[in-house]
DNA sequence: GCAATCGTGTTATGAGATAACGTGACAAAC
DNA sequence: GTTTGTCACGTTATCTCATAACACGATTGC
């Protein structure tokens, strides 16, 4: 197995617990919400959650939503297109849709390069109402 | 004068003070940093800053940077292209470059529309190293 | 006058994140 | 086999960011 690809089986106990909490949820969770979910599993302090989250984000298994101060499990496991992610966040139901778009990523690269800016990470978060909630 | 366009002259005292603090700074400021800058002007509590910031953001004079939990004065005063903003944030010097790009905005609208998503607000924040800091 | 609205001031509290310390497990180096 | 380094883990305290709740005064429209 590729040493750079992290799967659930390679996670530590705490990382696996946090990953499980995020995977079961259909919307983003804050670190403190995760902590509450894991009290019965022995979690006592925020740092236990944050340390696991740091690693999970590093592994590409979890994304941080800056505009929500919350975290979601990646919906594209094993996908390497993670340079080009955008999130559509429904302000009604809270659900998040993760999309990967090459042309968007290209445009961001162009803009950065035109400004001589060495791009490391892109944050694209769209707020609005999802199709389900519009219909309702 | 157009009633929907807010200029500095229409601001309340607190709003003007906060706007002044942000305008003088060449990098984003947190609400609490602004508070510290304005203690001599009578500011005592965070809420005074946050209330002014809420209005300034509403007027389009100030932008909130989600990935920094900080605020910057808009560099395009009077410009109405504020549907399409992206920020390039230098992780070395902290300076922020605000850019407005139509083709980026179009692509975001396309993506949303394709998903039946009613787009309200876009957050695009690019992290990296600015050209000045690369040269140094 | 009187109600409605808005900006303001103050205190307390909630929510998000990290610093600083120490422990135990494990593997490489000697 | 002991030393050294690294890493995950646990705990406490602290820091930063943001809002709730309440009260006061000025302005406007009736
Ligand atoms: Zn992903
Ligand atoms: Zn929805
Ligand atoms: Zn602007
Ligand atoms: Zn720089």
Q: Are residues A63 and A111 in the same domain?
A: no
User: Is residue A105, in this structure, part of any structural domain at all?
Assistant: yes
The number of distinct structural domains making up chain B is 2
CB-CB contact of A64 with B123 (8 Å): no
| Residues paired with residue B70 on neighbouring β-strands, in sequence order | B65
| Whether residue A87 sits in one domain with residue A68 | no
Tell me the mean pLDDT in the region B28-44: 97
Judged by its nearest atom, the ligand closest to the C-alpha of residue A134 is 2
Inter-chain touch B126–A112, beta carbons under 8 Å: yes
The DSSP output letter for B76 is S
The residue among A73, A93, A122 that closes a domain is A73
Q: Is the CB of A13 under 7 A from strand D?
A: yes
Relative to the alpha carbon of A92, which ligand is closest? 2
Confidence of residue B1 (pLDDT cuts 50, 70, 90): very low
Per the domain annotation, does A112 fall within a domain? yes
Asked if the structure places residue B136 within a domain, the reply is no
Q: Which pLDDT does position B76 carry in this prediction?
A: 81
Q: What is the model's pLDDT at position B54?
A: 97
Q: Is residue A51 domain-shared with residue A22, that is, in the same domain?
A: yes
The answer on A13 and A69 residing in a single domain is yes
Note down the domain range covering B27: 8-73
For position A27, what pLDDT does the model report?
Answer: 96
Task: Give percent of chain B above pLDDT 90.
Answer: 83
pLDDT band at A136 (very low <50, low <70, confident <90, very high): confident
The verdict on a CB contact (< 8 Å) between A118 and B111 is no
How many angstroms separate the CA atoms of A37 and A18, rounded? 9
Question: Where a domain ends, among B25, B42, B73?
Answer: B73
pLDDT of residue B4: 47
Please give the structure tokens belonging to residue A61.
């298994």
Nearest CA of chain B to the CA of A36: how many Å?
24
Crossing angle between the packed helical segments B13-24 and B46-59, to the nearest 10 degrees: 80
Same structural domain, B48 and B101: no
Share of chain A above pLDDT 70, in %: 88
Give the pair of three-digit tokens for residue B101: 């790009």
| Residue B2, domain member (yes or no) | no
What integer pLDDT is reported at residue A89 of this predicted model? 98
Nearest protein residue, CA measured to C1' of C16: A69
Cβ-Cβ pairs closer than 8 A, A with B, add up to: 119
pLDDT tens digit string along A73-111? 998 866 665 666 899 999 999 999 999 999 999 999 999
User: Measured between CA atoms, how close is B23 to chain A, in angstroms?
Assistant: 22
Q: Tell whether A35 is covered by a domain.
A: yes
Return the CATH number at A16: 1.10.10.10
pLDDT at residue B103, as a whole number = 93
pLDDT band with cut points at 50, 70 and 90 for residue B5: low
Examine the domain organization and report whether A94 and A114 are in the same domain: yes
CATH number of domain containing B100:
3.30.1490.190
8 A C-beta contact, residue B99 and residue B88: yes
- How far apart, in whole angstroms, are the C-alpha atoms of residue B32 and residue B45? 9
pLDDT band at B136 (very low <50, low <70, confident <90, very high): confident
What's this model's pTM, rounded to 2 decimal places? 0.92
């Amino acid at each position: 197995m590729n040493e750079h690809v992290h799967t659930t089986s390679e996670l530590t106990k705490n990382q696996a617990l946090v990953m499980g909490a995020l995977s079961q949820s259909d919307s983003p969770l804050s670190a403190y919400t995760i902590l509450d979910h894991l009290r019965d599993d022995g979690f006592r302090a925020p740092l236990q959650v944050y340390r696991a989250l740091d690693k999970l984000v590093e592994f590409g298994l979890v994304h941080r939503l800056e505009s929500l101060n919350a975290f979601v499990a990646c919906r594209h496991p094993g996908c390497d297109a993670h340079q080009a992610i955008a999130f559509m966040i429904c302000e009604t139901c809270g659900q998040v849709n993760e999309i990967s778009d090459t042309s968007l990523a290209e445009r961001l690269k162009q803009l950065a390069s035109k400004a001589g800016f060495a791009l490391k990470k892109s944050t694209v978060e769209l707020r609005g109402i999802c199709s389900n909630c519009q219909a309702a």
